[in-house]
Amino acid sequence: MVKITDVARHAGVSPSTVSYALSGKRPISEETRRRIEASIRELGYRPHAGARALASSRSNVLALVVPLRSGIHVPVVMQFAVSVVTTARRYDHDVLLLTQEEGEEGLRRVADTALVDALIVMDVQLHDPRLPLLRALERPSVLIGFPAAAEGLTCVDLDFKAAGELCVQRLAGLGHRVVALVGSPPEVYVRETAFAQRVVQGFTAAADRNGMASSVHPCEATPAGARRIAEQLLRDQPALTGVVVHNEAVLEPLIDAFEQLGLRVPVDLSVTAICPDELAAGLRVPVTSVALPTAELGERAAELLMRKLDGDPDVPEATLLAPRLTERASTAPREAR
Amino acid sequence: MVKITDVARHAGVSPSTVSYALSGKRPISEETRRRIEASIRELGYRPHAGARALASSRSNVLALVVPLRSGIHVPVVMQFAVSVVTTARRYDHDVLLLTQEEGEEGLRRVADTALVDALIVMDVQLHDPRLPLLRALERPSVLIGFPAAAEGLTCVDLDFKAAGELCVQRLAGLGHRVVALVGSPPEVYVRETAFAQRVVQGFTAAADRNGMASSVHPCEATPAGARRIAEQLLRDQPALTGVVVHNEAVLEPLIDAFEQLGLRVPVDLSVTAICPDELAAGLRVPVTSVALPTAELGERAAELLMRKLDGDPDVPEATLLAPRLTERASTAPREAR
DNA sequence: GTAAACCGTCGAAGCGCTTCGACGGAGGAC
DNA sequence: GTCCTCCGTCGAAGCGCTTCGACGGTTTAC
């Protein structure tokens, strides 16, 4: 293994000079830097991560806690993860994968052993048991998602309440008077997963504000679940003309089910969704949707974390992305019926 | 931060004794160990990962390279990842997440900086450009998937060729004479992704052996793609009665499409699949399938890696899991038609 | 009874890097 | 010309841990 002293000898400088050339923490003359870089290349030098971590008390690794629990849509999680990794790499950091299963002990472990410098936590519940820990930890963290009480924590998320409102608003604008929300699977609400609750709030508030009749329906993430909901809606709410879907897995099956039951989208039924744009745009009936900007959220989370690691004193605590609705083929004025 | 010397002082022993008590690499008297453990608990001691890595030249971290390319089924990837992480934790290791995008340079980087002790690589192509690097690397690795030339590499996978054969064999046993394989998206074959190719081989070989008419159809991983294939099969192969599906994303839409086109499963058409059991079993029509044992594969990969790290000299190079077919509701004798 | 083997513990060295203080020399201020 | 400052570099200390050799004190072997 080639080490920094080898490079130093080869370049005719001291090890500390090599270190400074690498980190840029002190000025190094143009010529010396060139020589050092040449030696590094020639010898194939790679600084030892452990040694670096020990000496600098920075591991350059972030922890990412991914949820595996039932009811969450895996591809979306993966999009977050990829975005976090990609962004972290831009800042010369790597990402350690933690499963939700490891729980608080896992967070404490990687933080206390200095395995990681900072943490990103997904799938936040309104009253998440990890919050006190995250506040107490000596390492910075960012949550993707908003708990009920977010003081002292840095959080990033789509403004799901506004997203729910926006969907309803759009349907209201098109003249719809009776709307339903098809939401996440029941267990997600039982756990009080923050984003799911917020959508319900926004949905209900906007419907009330507009004097619309509204109802909320948790939905299993399976085609069978979708079909069941569709049948139930058709039976119990014959006047229904607008549906908001907040459940990636059932978006397509649900539309299929409606059509098989004789409700054409958007002629008889307007559908809006909250989900990643690619999903909404790629369906047989492209769906009018509020984008869930996974790439941007992951990127923001990682960037905020880097700023905190840099000691930036005014990193915003709350970053709520405003919802953006894209009109597609699944919505139409109610008159069109 | 509390360090090993603090623990040593508190317990009235030397730091090395604490270290040995922790690692078990030398015998420590029952009583001393107790005292040390008590001190550790009382002080809340956590060994510093970087210091440990430096002194022991072991980081206790594995790299996992996950594919993000189009055509691969994300939930399956996630299942592998979770299984690897869970198993690694059993052996007191953590997992660093690398994206395919980082490529060979990424592998080299984490290996050469000693950030990780070993690597697990997924989504192996028949002629994978990373193979020479993995062979040359000073750190052990395990592939999930088999390249064309696997000598000198440790590989784990389902025996996809046998899996393809088994599906056909089953259909043959039921009296079917004309079969089709609905496979992965075209780009997967273009890349020569190993497992996809092997299924085709097995499928074709078994069909030929049984004197069956057979055809292979790559399929986009979208419901629209599924529908297109269904229509095409119906048009071009009216005698078709058996289908093998090797494409998680289209399994359900494909069956739906067939039924909408008037082909009842399994009355008119028998369907078998190669996919995770949960998927096959959870569909509206539970599908007879060869299990893709993601949990077991991930676990095996991690375990083989741990053995290699332990210096076990006879770790098997090739681990090919025999396919296991589970009969469900999607297959019936041809006579039933 | 003596030698050999072993057990449990200690002290010191060292893993490869970063960082701090120091220092010679060049440039600027006056 | 002198003094001060700044630039570029060096040497040494030290980050927190593991590991090696050594060393008394017991056992065991014969």
CATH number, domain with residue A8: 1.10.260.40
What does the pLDDT average to over A271-278?
97
Protein-covered nucleotides of chain D (CB closer than 7 Å) are 7-12, 14-21
Domain-located, residue B121: yes
Site from B79, B93, B94 to mutate, A interface, most A CB atoms within 10 angstroms: B94
Say how far residue B322 (Cα) sits from the centre of its chain: 14
CB atoms B97 and A81 under 8 Å: yes
A54 beta carbon < 7 A from strand D? yes
Q: What is the pLDDT of residue A223?
A: 84
User: Does the pLDDT value for residue A89 go beyond 50?
Assistant: yes
Query: Measuring from the CA of residue B19 to each C1', which nucleotide is nearest?
Result: D18
Q: What is the pLDDT of residue B336?
A: 46
Q: What is the pLDDT of residue B334?
A: 86
Both B170 and B237 in a single domain? yes
CA separation for the pair A35, A46 (Å, rounded): 16
Both B80 and B138 in a single domain? yes
For A10-21, the pLDDT digits (tens) are: 999 999 999 999
* Residue A138 CB-density burial (10 A; 0-12 exposed, 13-18 middle, 19+ buried): exposed
Site from B85, B139, B284 to mutate, A interface, most A CB atoms within 10 angstroms: B85
CA separation for the pair B155, B160 (Å, rounded): 13
CATH number, domain with residue A116: 3.40.50.2300
Domain-located, residue A56: no
**Which residues sit opposite B215 in a β-bridge?**
B180
Q: What is the pLDDT of residue A249?
A: 93
Overall domain count for chain B: 3
The first and second tokens of residue A194, run together, are: 């923050």
A135 beta carbon < 7 A from strand C? no
Both B170 and B251 in a single domain? yes
Both B200 and B247 in a single domain? yes
Q: What is the pLDDT of residue A171?
A: 97
The first and second tokens of residue A264, run together, are: 């054409």
Domain-located, residue B143: yes
* Residue that has been written with the tokens 């210091």 in this structure: B51
What does the pLDDT average to over A276-283?
94
Domain-located, residue B55: no
Domain-located, residue A124: yes
Q: What is the pLDDT of residue A337?
A: 43
Higher pLDDT residue, B217 or A71? Answer: B217
Both B282 and B238 in a single domain? yes
Query: Measuring from the CA of residue B2 to each C1', which nucleotide is nearest?
Result: D16
Secondary structure in 3-state letters for chain A: CCCHHHHHHHHCCCHHHHHHHHHCCCCCCHHHHHHHHHHHHHHCCCCCHHHHHHHHCCCCEEEEEECCCCCCCHHHHHHHHHHHHHHHHHCCCEEEEEEHHHHHHHHHHHHHCCCCCEEEECCCECCCCCHHHHHHCCCCEEEECCCCCCCCCEEEEECHHHHHHHHHHHHHHCCCCEEEEECCCHHHHHCCEHHHHHHHHHHHHHHHHCCCEEEEECCCCCHHHHHHHHHHHHHHCCCCCEEEECCHHHHHHHHHHHHHCCCCCCCCCEEEEEECHHHHHHCCCCCEEEECCHHHHHHHHHHHHHHHHCCCCCCCCEEEECCCEECCCCCCCHHHC
B147 φ/ψ sector (left φ>0, alpha ψ -120 to 50, else beta) = beta
Q: What is the pLDDT of residue B70?
A: 82
Positions in chain B whose pLDDT score sits under 70: 335-337
What does the pLDDT average to over A240-260?
94
Both B329 and B195 in a single domain? yes
CB atoms A64 and B98 under 8 Å: no
Residues of A in contact with B64 (CB under 8 A): 97
Per-residue DSSP letter, B193: B
The first and second tokens of residue B158, run together, are: 């389902």
Whole-Å CA distances, A20 to A4, A168, B333: 11, 57, 75
Both B206 and B330 in a single domain? yes
String of b and e for A252-290 (b: at least 16 CB within 10 Å)? bbbbbbbbeeebebbebbbbbbbbbbebbeebbbebbbb
Q: What is the pLDDT of residue B337?
A: 44
Task: Select the residue of B47, B75, B77 nearest A113 (Cβ to Cβ).
Answer: B47
A45 beta carbon < 7 A from strand C? yes
CB atoms B78 and A59 under 8 Å: no
The set of residues, in sequence order, having a beta carbon less than 8 Å from that of A279 and lying 6+ positions away, is: A248, A251, A273, A289
Helix runs in B12-60, H state only: 15-23, 30-43, 49-56
Domain-located, residue A91: yes
**Which residues sit opposite A213 in a β-bridge?**
A178
**Model confidence band, residue A319 (pLDDT cutoffs 50, 70, 90):** very high
Round to a whole number and report the distance in Å from the CA of B30 to the C1' of D29.
27
Round to a whole number and report the distance in Å from the CA of B106 to the C1' of C13.
34
Query: Measuring from the CA of residue B8 to each C1', which nucleotide is nearest?
Result: C10
B20 beta carbon < 7 A from strand C? yes
Both B235 and B255 in a single domain? yes
Whole-Å CA distances, A237 to A174, A213, A230, A333, B98: 19, 10, 10, 19, 49
Round to a whole number and report the distance in Å from the CA of B23 to the C1' of C12.
20
Whole-Å CA distances, A87 to A95, A140, A299, B99, B142: 10, 17, 6, 12, 27
Q: Which of residues 291-310 of B touch strand C (CB under 7 A)?
A: none
Closest residue to C16 (CA to C1') is A51
User: Does the pLDDT value for residue A336 go beyond 80?
Assistant: no
Q: In this structure, which amino acid lies at residue A56?
A: S
User: Does the pLDDT value for residue A294 go beyond 70?
Assistant: yes
Q: What is the pLDDT of residue B169?
A: 97
Percent of chain A exceeding pLDDT 70 equals 99
Both B220 and B332 in a single domain? yes
For residue A135, the tally of other CB atoms under 10 A from its CB is 11
Say how far residue B246 (Cα) sits from the centre of its chain: 15
Per-residue DSSP letter, B48: -
Higher pLDDT residue, A223 or A8? Answer: A8
Q: What is the pLDDT of residue A5?
A: 97
Domain-located, residue A193: yes
The set of residues, in sequence order, having a beta carbon less than 8 Å from that of A274 and lying 6+ positions away, is: A158, A160, A163, A164, A167, A199, A244, A245, A246, A289, A290, A292, A323
Domain-located, residue A53: no
CB atoms B97 and A96 under 8 Å: yes
**Model confidence band, residue A216 (pLDDT cutoffs 50, 70, 90):** very high
Instruction: Tell me the nearest-neighbour CA distance from B62 into chain A, angstroms.
Output: 10
Size of interface A-B (CB pairs under 8 A): 113
Both B208 and B124 in a single domain? no
Both B208 and B331 in a single domain? yes
* Highest mean pLDDT out of A161-165, A281-285, B252-256, B310-314: A161-165
Instruction: Tell me the nearest-neighbour CA distance from A210 into chain B, angstroms.
Output: 36
Spatial CA neighbour of A155 closest among A333, A326, A305, A327:
A305
For A93-114, the pLDDT digits (tens) are: 999 999 998 989 999 999 999 9
What domain range includes position A75? 61-158+294-321
Spatial CA neighbour of A98 closest among A79, A119, A125:
A119
Rounded to the nearest 5°, which phi and psi values hold at A53?
A: -60, -40
For A22-56, the pLDDT digits (tens) are: 999 999 999 999 999 999 999 999 999 999 999 99
Both B329 and B191 in a single domain? yes
